[in-house]
Structure 1
Amino acid sequence: MLLVDDEVLIRETIRDTINWEEAGLIYSGDASDGEVALPLIEQYKPDILITDITMPFMDGLELSSYVKKNMPDIKIIILSGHGEHEYIKSALQIGVEEYCTKPFSSADLYQVLRQVSDKIDAERREKGTLT
């Protein structure tokens, strides 16, 4: 799992409050914007990408669009302070798994992560790549 958000406090809070081992995930790292995140995504090839929408240089929608085109198996969770219909519509057209509006609790994010992780496991079982 890789996290992209320009707010360091959000990144630190998510990193420090989720029990990654219990969630069955490995926290691969984080980045402050999409431009910084791309090399990390290519290096770590995470199963899950969590990204904010509004960030400098490359926003979350641009990053999500690039990832879905080039690494379609990565599941994307968008975190956003924007609940506007246009943002949600754009995210869904790109193919993100979940759209979570801020503020959210650690328990809410944990639940979303478990659901996405379970979906990944089910898809791998179906393909015969998970034992």
Structure 2
Amino acid sequence: MYRLVIIDDELSARAGLKECFNWSEFGVEVVGEADNGINTLKLIGEVKPDIVLTDVKMPKMDGIQLSLELSRLYKNIKIVFISGYDEFEYLKSALKVEAVDYILKPVNMKEMHSVIKKVTSILDSNENQKRTIYHMHSKLIQKIPHVYNQARVFRRKQASGKT
């Protein structure tokens, strides 16, 4: 299961997102929530989420500042913005931090389904890629002694003039 945190300064928004959406249907577990970016940074160190669903406008540290910090500290976390503001500057900032998506409040559950499906698909793809690289690395490590031995035999034959 992928791990998700919900970040919003409004308790009702956090509760609504947590309770009104069937996260497990998408292989996602809500592992924490916070009310601003500063508290989120502490939380993320503890719960290690794969996905951060964050409001844009919050006190102390907003979602944009938070996402910049997350991009710097945790390269693999996927960020989805939720906001009541349909402003171009926010959208532009979301693109700069490579957010997966930007959802407007009030959140449309059909849109949320689509976005969460997209995020989990990206995470699945990343996991498959890691597995493939690990598998290839393991095979390469297994073949190194064989290649080394073949090279040694070849050098011996070459030195004795039998090639």
Q: TM-score range by the shorter chain?
A: over 0.9
Secondary structure of the equivalent of 1:121? helix
Deviation at 1:64, TM superposition (A): 0.4
Q: 1:31 aligns with which of 11, 30, 34?
A: 34
Q: 1:89 aligns with which of 75, 92, 96?
A: 92
Q: Is the 8 A contact 1:14 1:106 kept in 2?
A: no
Q: Is the 8 A contact 1:82 1:101 kept in 2?
A: yes
Secondary structure of the equivalent of 2:90? helix
Secondary structure of the equivalent of 1:18? coil
Moved over 3 A (4+): none
TM-score by length of 2: 0.76
Considering Cα pairs closer than 8 Å and 6+ residues apart, tell me whether 1 or 2 has the greater RCO: 1
Q: In angstroms, what is the RMSD of aligned CA positions?
A: 1.4
Equivalent residue, structure 2, for 1:128? 131
Equivalent residue, structure 1, for 2:69? 66
Q: Is the 8 A contact 1:48 1:77 kept in 2?
A: yes
Gaps of 5+ in 2: 135-163
Which has the larger Rg? 2
Q: How many pairs were matched up? A: 130
Q: 1:53 aligns with which of 28, 52, 56?
A: 56
Deviation at 1:120, TM superposition (A): 0.5
Secondary structure of the equivalent of 1:27? strand
